Structure 1
Amino acid sequence: MDRRKFIKNSALASSLFFVPNFIKAFEAVATEQLGYKRLVIVQLAGGNDGLNTIIPYNNDFYFKARPQLAITKNVIKLSDDLGFHPSLSPLRPLFDKGELSIINNVGYPNPVRSHFRSMDIWQTASGADEYLQSGWLGRFLDQHGKKPYNALEMDEQLSLAMKGEHFNGIATYDYKMLYKTTKDPYFKNIINHYNDTHLSEHNLGYLYQTMIEAKSSAKYIYENTKVATSQESYPNNGFAKQLKNVAQFINSGLDTKVFYTSLSGFDTHAGQNNKQTKLLSQYAESVFAFVKDLKQNDTFKDTLILTFSEFGRRVKQNAANGTDHGSANNVFVIGKDLKQAGFYNNLASLSDLDNNGDLKYSVDFRSVYATILSNWMNVSAKGIIPTEQKTMNFI
């Protein structure tokens, strides 16, 4: 097969290009067992308004800053000062059982209010002035992974967070379709030409190995995921489908330590209340079903769920009954036997904002990552988180 035909036919390969920088795909980076702890990431894409998620329902500054947007009815009171948005009612049992820790004022120095740049910062664990090409979870795989299926993203494209310097995870929205695609005759044709020196001269050997590992991983996931699907009832939305797939993988005992999911639409510059109400309902109902599924299969005790968004929103509403890009935000951590459940810390002052009218951050998001790595995944954060961070006490 000549190079022109190879490149032309590589359209199929590009649909599986979840490991674009896979330098040593066929080489196991490490051989140690990772243990049984699993981490599930939930990304609320677009910048969720944390101030209407965890509501300071007794704070006059909140109501003055948001005459139309402030949540005034059916707030789920969790303390004397703070409560859930009404749409988060499914999470109340988790809060009451000590299975939810809410960390307020999470951010980083010199915050960036661009979606793409701020998301890169969160996914790479970099500083605002650093530009990294690998993600924090990808670097975890570099040090402690064995195969691409050690980290799975429920999407068609791999996030920067899951790309390492030498080793990446896998992105797949439908693992059965992924397996069927790797069974295509084109794949077999490519792999049969693995020793073709002509292709090696054109530096295409890395693509060979990418495809070989893709085929191997797809086969492993397909053959080791239980045929019987989850018996738990999930909401009918795309995010719930992601979590249902994750639950099926976890309950099947796949050797996967990191799962990455996302729910988009949180960029609420206008008409925020209706949009956020709907999205938070999808989030809470889906997470509740997911946790229930894990508990029924006795896998919740070994699973930690981290929810974040790339930034919060401005304290003051805008003229379109929405909120503009802000900085500090809340982070949710869900798991069994949390050391500090409930509210990890107080909400930042609404009367002492930064120069842009945003909440001042008090917790560096990288310290959250470092804590998860050290206290949950039982690995050192050195070499994974670029700057040394103090660990926290929520797990």
Structure 2
Amino acid sequence: MATSRRDFLKLTSLASGMLLVPNFLHTANGMGLLSNTNGKRLVVIQLSGGNDGLNTIVPFEDDLYFKARPTLAIPSGKVLRLEKGLGLNPAMGKFRELHDQGYLSVLNSVGYPNPDRSHFRSTDIWQTGSASDEYLSTGWLGRYLDSCCTTGNSKNTMGIEVDDALSLALKGEKYTGVAVQDVRRFYQASQDTFLKQVAQEHHADHAHENVEYLYKTLISTQQSAAYLHQQVKTYRSKEEYPQGEFAKNLKTIAELISSGMESRVYYASLSGFDTHVRQADQQARLLQELSEGIYSFVQDLRQQHAFEDTLILVFSEFGRRVGQNASNGTDHGTANNLFLIGGSLRRAGVYNAAPNLADLDAGDLKYKIDFRDVYATLLQNWLQADAKAILTGKHSLLPNLV
């Protein structure tokens, strides 16, 4: 079939949303993708925009907190108390339940040396696992995929991001994750009549090199979309999730996990945390969305006996300044807290001490835990990968975490 310029443009347009799907999503025998691994999976959730950690995990016994935030501080009587003088934002009632059930761990003062306050650069640092003066083109999870996919005779692995674009975190040199926001619509798009005809009738001998690459990607995408669609049909979640895109994405991840997919890494995000102005209401709404969405996700996995092998990491690219600004908000800061949620935590609750508000760096929190030490611990102890081969520099494993 001859390919005109118009046909090529149509092919490019229709397929452009599917080019991120690699051929390794399916296997020839249809069996599990990771039969030679420990079966553990990691779900990473990014709070995009820089979540204010001090109003998420509140140091309600520290007078310096209230002094720095005369109108923005959360009254101690409203805080959902945990331990070590810390408590949750009152909008996070479902996180409090996860804490009380032993499923939540809070790590304070997580960051890195010479922090960057740019959303884009700091996001790159967290997603690549780099130093602040190091620029990498692959993500820490993408390099994990590279490491696992090239080890011995193990079957191919993959990571899935439930979004319309793939984050740098999941991009490796040889293997790359896939971005799919709606599996069913993705499958329907791959079944477009024109695309199916092109895939069936094209001849490699007569195709331009660039056109041939597009053809191969299209055929691979159709196979992968069919595989994903077939897998998802085996399980439809009955858990009641809250309204909103974030909860819907978590439900999609739960369906993929419970359908028997052996993907090791899943990625999702919740945006809107750049709270320079009138922070209180906006952050409370987002934290409630986060808390209730993850709680439903956990209940869904528990019902399918998939929670014990799942670990959830929740992070933001940086925290906020300790002091509030003139607009009842907070500006870009440095170190922050992060959450680990799972049924196999070695130390649930508050992992380390609250930030020291009497010892600041030009008004910002000093980091106590390097985020790459968190990554190394999750890679080595949870996913049973070689953290030294995946992360640059020297990193320590955090004791009694997972």
Tell me if both proteins adopt one fold, taking TM over 0.5 as the criterion: yes
Question: Which residue type is aligned with residue 360 of structure 1?
Answer: K
Aligned to 2:136: 132
Give 1:225 deviation, angstroms. Answer: 1.6
- CA pair 378-197 structure 1, distance change in 2 beyond 3 A: same
Aligned to 1:158: 166
1:347 counterpart SS class: coil
Per-residue CA distance 1:250-291 (angstroms, 9 max, x = gap): 111112111111111000000000000000000001111110
CA contact (8 A) 2:35 2:155 kept: no
2:164 counterpart SS class: coil
CA distance in 2, matches of 1:81, 1:169: 40
Give 1:23 deviation, angstroms. Answer: 11
Matches within 5 A, 1:2-41: 2=3, 4-5=5-6, 7-9=8-10, 10-18=12-20, 33-41=36-44
| Correspondence for 1:63 among 42, 63, 66 | 66
2:389 counterpart SS class: coil
Per-residue CA distance 1:194-217 (angstroms, 9 max, x = gap): 642343x43444433332332222
Per-residue CA distance 1:222-261 (angstroms, 9 max, x = gap): 1112355211111011111011111111111112111111
Aligned to 1:168: 176
Give 1:16 deviation, angstroms. Answer: 1.6
Give 1:381 deviation, angstroms. Answer: 1.3
Aligned to 2:114: 110
CA distance in 1, matches of 2:91, 2:353: 22
Per-residue CA distance 1:168-205 (angstroms, 9 max, x = gap): 11111110011111111333244335642343x43444
| Correspondence for 2:304 among 297, 301, 306 | 297
Aligned to 1:224: 231
1:70 counterpart SS class: coil
Aligned to 1:278: 285
- CA pair 25-55 structure 1, distance change in 2 beyond 3 A: closer
Aligned to 2:56: 53
1:86 counterpart SS class: coil
The answer for unaligned runs of 5 or more in structure 1 is: none
Matches within 5 A, 1:247-326: 247-326=254-333
CA distance in 2, matches of 1:147, 1:204: 30
The answer as to 2:344 corresponding to 1:342 is: no
CA contact (8 A) 2:84 2:354 kept: no
Aligned to 1:380: 386
Aligned to 1:390: 396
CA distance in 2, matches of 1:216, 1:23: 8
* Aligned residues: CA RMSD: 2.3
- CA pair 236-25 structure 1, distance change in 2 beyond 3 A: closer
CA contact (8 A) 1:34 1:257 kept: no
Question: Which residue type is aligned with residue 132 of structure 1?
Answer: L
CA contact (8 A) 1:32 1:144 kept: no
CA contact (8 A) 1:110 1:128 kept: yes
CA distance in 1, matches of 2:396, 2:9: 50
Matches within 5 A, 1:138-153: 138-145=142-149, 150-153=158-161
Per-residue CA distance 1:35-68 (angstroms, 9 max, x = gap): 3111111110100000000000011110010001
- CA pair 388-208 structure 1, distance change in 2 beyond 3 A: farther
CA distance in 2, matches of 1:325, 1:188: 49
Question: Which residue type is aligned with residue 48 of structure 1?
Answer: N
Give 1:27 deviation, angstroms. Answer: 11
Question: Which residue type is aligned with residue 89 of structure 1?
Answer: G
When structure 1 is superposed on structure 2, of 383-392 and 361-370 the one drifting more is 383-392
Give 1:363 deviation, angstroms. Answer: 0.9
- CA pair 294-203 structure 1, distance change in 2 beyond 3 A: same
Give 1:100 deviation, angstroms. Answer: 1.0
The alignment's TM-score, normalised by the length of structure 1, stands at: 0.93
- CA pair 175-219 structure 1, distance change in 2 beyond 3 A: same
2:308 counterpart SS class: helix
CA contact (8 A) 1:24 1:206 kept: no
CA contact (8 A) 1:26 1:210 kept: no
Aligned to 1:211: 218
Aligned to 1:92: 96
1:326 counterpart SS class: coil
CA distance in 2, matches of 1:167, 1:82: 41
The alignment's TM-score, normalised by the length of structure 2, stands at: 0.91
1:87 counterpart SS class: coil
CA contact (8 A) 2:26 2:224 kept: no
Question: Which residue type is aligned with residue 133 of structure 1?
Answer: S
1:339 counterpart SS class: coil
Question: Which residue type is aligned with residue 139 of structure 1?
Answer: R
CA distance in 2, matches of 1:11, 1:105: 45
1:333 counterpart SS class: strand
Per-residue CA distance 1:127-148 (angstroms, 9 max, x = gap): 1111111111111111214888
- CA pair 49-148 structure 1, distance change in 2 beyond 3 A: farther
Question: Which residue type is aligned with residue 125 of structure 1?
Answer: G
Aligned length: 390
When structure 1 is superposed on structure 2, of 190-199 and 380-389 the one drifting more is 190-199
- CA pair 38-25 structure 1, distance change in 2 beyond 3 A: closer
